[in-house]
């Protein structure tokens, strides 16, 4: 049974399906087909594309406009890839498609591949979908497709739980609803008034809907929720179907969604947070100015860094967030900066009994594609190194080269970049004035603070306090004295224990990292190099002698609950934060940047509210008085 | 005791508690851990470094959402809070 407090832990069941003689997937649970036996693709086009009037609406999109479709029942993703393919054909090149789909029983990736394989004309789309398709874990998973032109949000879980939550952050944002599903007679549970209400709340005033069914109860439910409903001939042998739109007259006035933001937006900070934000805003066609004291000078300037999710065995906000963020990062980096990432596996050694218990429990609960438990012997085989501990192995995780990645992101940034320090932030009418250290000013409609713990100084005069805690860290760059014989040269996997060891890049490994709370000094300390190497030697006593090549110290910006601080500052309209990335900024930043961009543009958010609220700057103000 | 010390002391219990947890126990642990992290953050923000405040604040946070839980879940959560308190006192 679902737990009301946290639908994230809905027990997710994979779809039970078989393929019939025509090769169409059939649900064993519902005894119904996923798409028409005759011609699934033609039916999808007829019912959902044609009866939502999509071709004409897409042809009329403005440059850079985003068209939002929501769907009940993702199934095989046929409706999605069909809509995507036709969107590419008809919409202006700069317009974007955002497709949100709800699914209670996800198909396995193999079943999905098989279900789509017969649509050879759409093969290039199916392949891309298969490559980013999330693991069967409850929650919202954002997938980036077509170089970011297409966004797919897959929401795994019963839509009767997830839709009422999702709609809170997606009010008046949907242009067209695809009301799909198994036949109402076969799956009456799904066809409930809360579905129709969710459709209405999330629909733009002029939104349309279409559905393959013409059942009376569905028609009445849609009408009761505020839709004008029309019966039209159904596809093939089906007599009738329903289509229609929201009757805006009946609809309480809602704020215009997708407001075009008056340019420009200012982003402060050129670390992984700031440059990801610039990227997300640029993708949305928003004029952006970047202001930073330097580039890759802070925590993000390291030579190598690990990318992996922090997992708990239980569904905690931390674990759920990192899983969602990792899913996004895992595809984002290779798509945007393939040269800079090496996702060849990562292991987390069980270096004490608590870790052992946690990692074992994580492995027992997680899909194997995310994390598995391995014995020391297996880990030795994975790495060729004399590992003594059992541990968790994450096949899809790995490392990247943050400093090089940032240069590459900056090179692609088309906005203005001021290498300056912001000394003050002041409201200026409905805009914000940023004073720079060189005496000049910049006026911006919105400002994203992505300057890590230095944000404290800018927020203080505005009477905004956030618990940003500086934590000094130093990494030690080493060369193995006998690289060839030590086995280090052949290992491609990151090894995490209390610290971490990266595979060699250009002959040099990164050994991390010290952890000194409250210290903002970034001078190099021989003692911390020693600590880093000693802690590694505890795990790998047989390792070759290591020659220290250089060291780098920087300051992490952490928070008391280990989650980043991302979203709008309600006390200062127009200010947004992407702060507090702690020790896992590389994993968290791409999804956090999407969250900021969505908030700024009024688009559906990449997290369900129970998580985005846990990242919101307001969360630290305790509710008092009950 | 300082708040941070207390947190460092009791936090490992969450990982220990999940070893042979069934689904319900895991749910309780995840639920409580979420509240725990946030309560610690809120206390810190309120300038509270006194460890004494932790458990009352945790109780208060949990009781605000109690209505969302089944009696069985409530029992698991209460049990876990007691174990955290015992660890704190040890
Ligand atoms: C030793 C060490 C090892 C780490 N290892 C890893 C790892 O393996 N994996 C991982 O994911 N994370 C790791 N981290 C954490 C990671 O580095 C951070 O989470 C991440 O870099 C934070 O990025 P950021 O963009 O928020 O901040 P930063 O990279 O610190 O960037 C802040 C930016 O703001 C600018 N700035 C500050 N104040 C102003 C101002 N007033 N005006 C204009 N600009 C300003 C700075 O110039 C800088 O460009 C490590 C951190 C350290 C210290
Ligand atoms: C006919 S199929 C959808 C076909 C799909 N649109 C396609 O293009 O392949 C119906 C889908 O609805 C899903 N479903 C059923 N009940 C649901 C619920 N309560 N919440 C979310 N999805 C549900 C089923 O698992 C199934 O994948």
Q: What are the sequence ranges of the domains in chain B?
A: 3-89
Question: Is B38–A614 a contact, with Cβ atoms under 8 angstroms apart?
Answer: yes
pLDDT of residue A325 exceeding 90: yes
State residue A508's pLDDT score.
94
Cβ of A278 closer than 6 Å to ligand 1, yes or no, is no
Tokens read off for A33: 């087909």
Question: Is B31–A6 a contact, with Cβ atoms under 8 angstroms apart?
Answer: yes
For the residues A232-244, what does the mean pLDDT come to? 94
Which domains can be identified in chain A, with CATH numbers?
40-246 (3.40.50.150), 265-299+404-468+561-623 (3.50.50.60)
Distance from residue A295's CA to the centre of ligand 1 (Å): 10
State residue A380's pLDDT score.
94
Distance from residue A119's CA to the centre of ligand 2 (Å): 19
> What is the per-residue pLDDT across A293-302, written as a single tens digit (0 to 9) for each?
999 898 899 9
> How sure is the predictor about A263, in pLDDT bands with cuts at 50, 70 and 90?
low
> What is the per-residue pLDDT across A20-65, written as a single tens digit (0 to 9) for each?
999 999 999 999 999 998 899 999 999 999 999 999 999 999 999 9
Least Cα separation, residue B87 to chain A (angstroms): 14
State residue A217's pLDDT score.
97
**Contact by Cβ (8 Å): A513, A528:** no
> What is the per-residue pLDDT across A447-467, written as a single tens digit (0 to 9) for each?
999 999 999 999 999 999 999
Burial of A289 (0-12, 13-18, 19+ CB in 10 A): buried
DSSP secondary structure letters along A215-273: -HHHHHHHHHHTEEEEEEE-STT--EEEEEEE-GGGSPP-PPSSPPPPSPEEEEEESHH
Q: Which residue of B has its CA nearest to A559?
A: B41
DSSP secondary structure letters along A63-101: TT-EEEEEEE--TTSHHHHHHHHHHHHHS-TT-EEEEEE
- Ligand 2 atom closest to the CA of A190, numbered from 1: 19
Tokens read off for A422: 């912001």
- Helix A123-132 and helix A78-90, axial crossing angle in degrees, nearest 10: 120
Q: Which of B18, B27, B38 sits opposite A619 (nearest CB)?
A: B38
Distance from residue A569's CA to the centre of ligand 1 (Å): 21
**Contact by Cβ (8 Å): A593, A279:** yes
Q: Which of A314, A355, A559 sits opposite B30 (nearest CB)?
A: A314
Distance from residue A38's CA to the centre of ligand 2 (Å): 19
Cβ of A587 closer than 6 Å to ligand 1, yes or no, is yes
| Nearest-CA residue for atom 50 of ligand 1 | A583
**Contact by Cβ (8 Å): B84, B10:** yes
pLDDT of residue A354 exceeding 80: yes
Burial of A391 (0-12, 13-18, 19+ CB in 10 A): buried
> CA torsion sign, A57 to A328 to A315 to A450?
negative
State residue A365's pLDDT score.
85
State residue A343's pLDDT score.
97
Q: Which residue has the tokens 């949000």?
A: A153
pLDDT of residue A116 exceeding 50: yes
Burial of A299 (0-12, 13-18, 19+ CB in 10 A): buried
Nearest to A111 by CA among A28, A43, A25, A13: A25
pLDDT of residue A187 exceeding 80: yes
Cα separation, A602 vs A444, whole angstroms: 18
State residue A61's pLDDT score.
97
Q: Report DSSP state, residue A139.
A: E
Question: CA end-to-end span of chain A, whole Å?
Answer: 29
Distance from residue A154's CA to the centre of ligand 2 (Å): 12
> B89 in contact with A at a CB cutoff of 8 Å?
no
State residue A50's pLDDT score.
98
State residue A485's pLDDT score.
63
pLDDT of residue B64 exceeding 90: no
- Ligand 1 atom closest to the CA of A292, numbered from 1: 44
> What is the per-residue pLDDT across A468-522, written as a single tens digit (0 to 9) for each?
999 999 999 999 877 666 778 889 999 999 999 999 999 999 999 999 999 999 9
State residue B68's pLDDT score.
77
pLDDT of residue A350 exceeding 60: yes
Q: Which of B19, B30, B43 sits opposite A316 (nearest CB)?
A: B30
Ligand closest to the CA atom of residue A28? 2
Q: Which residue has the higher pLDDT, B63 or A74?
A: A74
Q: Which residue has the tokens 């004008």?
A: A228
Question: Is A622–B15 a contact, with Cβ atoms under 8 angstroms apart?
Answer: no
Cα separation, A553 vs A532, whole angstroms: 12
- Ligand 1 atom closest to the CA of A555, numbered from 1: 53
| Nearest-CA residue for atom 6 of ligand 2 | A74
Judged by average pLDDT, the poorest of A217-221, A353-357, A481-485, A498-502 is: A481-485
Average pLDDT, chain A: 93
Q: Which residue of B has its CA nearest to A616?
A: B38
Q: Which of B14, B26, B45 sits opposite A620 (nearest CB)?
A: B45
Least Cα separation, residue A312 to chain B (angstroms): 8
For the residues A234-247, what does the mean pLDDT come to? 93
Ligand closest to the CA atom of residue A292? 1
For residue A4, give Cα distances in angstroms to A1, A10, A138: 9, 9, 14
- Ligand 1 atom closest to the CA of A581, numbered from 1: 19
Cα separation, A110 vs A94, whole angstroms: 33
> What is the per-residue pLDDT across A151-184, written as a single tens digit (0 to 9) for each?
999 999 999 999 999 999 999 999 999 999 999 9
State residue A311's pLDDT score.
93
Least Cα separation, residue B30 to chain A (angstroms): 5
Q: Which of B15, B23, B73 sits opposite A358 (nearest CB)?
A: B15
Cα separation, A540 vs A384, whole angstroms: 12
What is the CA A605 to chain-centroid distance, rounded? 10
Candidate ranges A250-254, A399-403, B29-33, B48-52; pick with highest mean pLDDT: A399-403
- Residues of chain B in contact with residue A560, where contact means CB-CB under 8 angstroms, are 37, 40-41, 44-45
> How sure is the predictor about A624, in pLDDT bands with cuts at 50, 70 and 90?
very low
Q: Which residue has the higher pLDDT, B65 or A288?
A: A288
- Residues of chain A in contact with residue B56, where contact means CB-CB under 8 angstroms, are none
**b/e burial code for range A86-116 (CB count within 10 A of at least 16 → b):** bbbebbeeebbbbbbbbbbbbbebebbbbbb
- Ligand 1 atom closest to the CA of A585, numbered from 1: 19
Cα separation, A82 vs B90, whole angstroms: 62
pLDDT of residue A625 exceeding 50: no
For the residues A140-157, what does the mean pLDDT come to? 97
> What is the per-residue pLDDT across A393-443, written as a single tens digit (0 to 9) for each?
999 999 999 999 999 999 999 999 999 999 999 999 999 999 999 999 999
Distance from residue A183's CA to the centre of ligand 2 (Å): 10
Question: CA end-to-end span of chain B, whole Å?
Answer: 13
- Residues of chain B in contact with residue A317, where contact means CB-CB under 8 angstroms, are 34, 37
> What is the per-residue pLDDT across B7-34, written as a single tens digit (0 to 9) for each?
989 888 887 776 566 777 778 888 898 8
């Amino acid at each position: 049974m679902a737990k009301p407090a946290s639908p994230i832990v809905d027990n997710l069941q994979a779809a039970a399906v078989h393929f019939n003689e025509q090769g169409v997937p059939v649900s064993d649970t519902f005894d119904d087909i996923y798409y028409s036996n005759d011609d699934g693709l033609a039916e999808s086009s007829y019912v959902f594309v044609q009866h939502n009037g999509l071709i004409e609406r897409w042809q009329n999109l403005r440059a850079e406009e985003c068209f939002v479709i929501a769907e009940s029942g993702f199934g095989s993703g046929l409706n999605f890839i069909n809509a995507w393919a036709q969107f590419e054909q008809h919409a202006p090149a700069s317009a974007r498609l955002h497709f949100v789909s709800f699914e209670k029983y996800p198909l396995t990736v193999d079943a999905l591949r098989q279900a789509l394989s017969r649509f050879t004309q759409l093969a290039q789309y199916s392949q891309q979908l298969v490559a980013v398709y999330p693991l069967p874990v409850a929650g919202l998973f954002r997938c980036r497709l077509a170089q970011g032109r297409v966004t797919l949000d897959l929401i795994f879980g019963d839509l009767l739980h997830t839709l009422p939550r999702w709609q809170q952050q997606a009010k008046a944002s949907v242009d067209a609803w695809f009301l799909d599903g198994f036949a109402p007679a076969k799956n009456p549970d799904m066809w409930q008034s809360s579905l129709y209400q969710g459709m209405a709340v999330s629909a733009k005033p002029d939104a349309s809907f279409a559905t393959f069914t013409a059942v009376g109860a569905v028609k009445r439910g849609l009408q009761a929720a505020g839709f004008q409903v029309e019966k039209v001939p159904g596809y093939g042998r089906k007599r009738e179907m329903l289509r229609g739109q929201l009757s805006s007259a009946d609809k309480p006035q809602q704020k215009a969604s997708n407001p075009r933001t008056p340019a420009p937006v200012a982003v402060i900070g050129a670390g992984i947070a700031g440059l990801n934000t610039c990227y997300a805003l640029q993708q949305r066609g928003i004029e952006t100015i970047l202001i930073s004291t330097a580039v890759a000078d802070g925590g993000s300037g390291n030579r190598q860094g690990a990318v992996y999710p922090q997992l708990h065995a239980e569904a905690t906000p931390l674990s759920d967030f990192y899983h969602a963020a990792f899913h996004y990062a895992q595809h984002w980096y290779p798509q945007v900066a393939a040269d800079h990432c090496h996702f060849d596996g990562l292991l987390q050694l069980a270096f004490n009994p608590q870790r052992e218990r946690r990692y074992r429990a994580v492995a027992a609960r997680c899909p194997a594609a995310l994390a598995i438990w391995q014995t020391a012997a297996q880990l030795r085989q994975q790495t060729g190194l004399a590992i003594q501990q059992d541990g968790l192995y994450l096949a899809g995780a790995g490392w990247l080269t943050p400093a090089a990645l940032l240069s590459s992101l900056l090179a692609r940034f088309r906005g203005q970049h001021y290498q300056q320090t912001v000394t003050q932030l002041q409201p200026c009418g409905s805009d914000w004035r940023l004073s720079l250290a060189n005496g000049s000013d910049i006026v911006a409609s919105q400002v994203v603070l992505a300057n890590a713990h230095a944000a404290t100084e800018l927020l203080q005069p505005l009477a905004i306090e956030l618990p940003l805690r500086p934590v000094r860290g130093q990494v030690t760059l080493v060369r193995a004295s006998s690289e060839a014989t030590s086995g280090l040269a052949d290992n491609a996997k990151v090894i995490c224990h209390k610290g971490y060891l990266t595979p060699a890049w250009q002959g040099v490994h990164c050994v991390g990292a010290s952890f000194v709370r409250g210290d903002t000094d970034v001078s190099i300390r021989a003692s911390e190099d020693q600590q880093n190497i000693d802690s590694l030697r505890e795990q790998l006593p047989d390792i070759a002698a290591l020659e220290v090549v250089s060291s780098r110290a920087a300051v992490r910006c952490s928070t008391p609950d280990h989650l980043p601080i991302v979203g709008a500052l309600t006390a200062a309209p127009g200010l947004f934060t992407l702060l507090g990335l702690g020790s896992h900024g590389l994993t968290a930043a791409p999804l956090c940047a999407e969250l900021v961009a969505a908030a700024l543009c009024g688009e559906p958010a990449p997290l369900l509210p129970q998580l985005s609220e846990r990242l919101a700057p307001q969360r630290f103000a305790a509710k008092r008085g009950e | 005791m300082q708040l941070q010390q207390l947190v460092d002391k009791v936090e490992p219990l969450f990982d220990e508690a999940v070893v042979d947890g069934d689904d319900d126990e895991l749910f309780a642990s995840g639920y409580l851990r979420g509240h725990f992290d946030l309560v610690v953050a809120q206390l810190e923000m309120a300038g509270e470094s006194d460890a004494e405040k932790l458990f009352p604040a945790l109780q208060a946070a949990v009781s605000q959402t109690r209505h969302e839980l089944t009696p069985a879940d409530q029992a698991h959560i209460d049990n876990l809070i007691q174990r955290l308190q015992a660890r704190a006192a040890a």
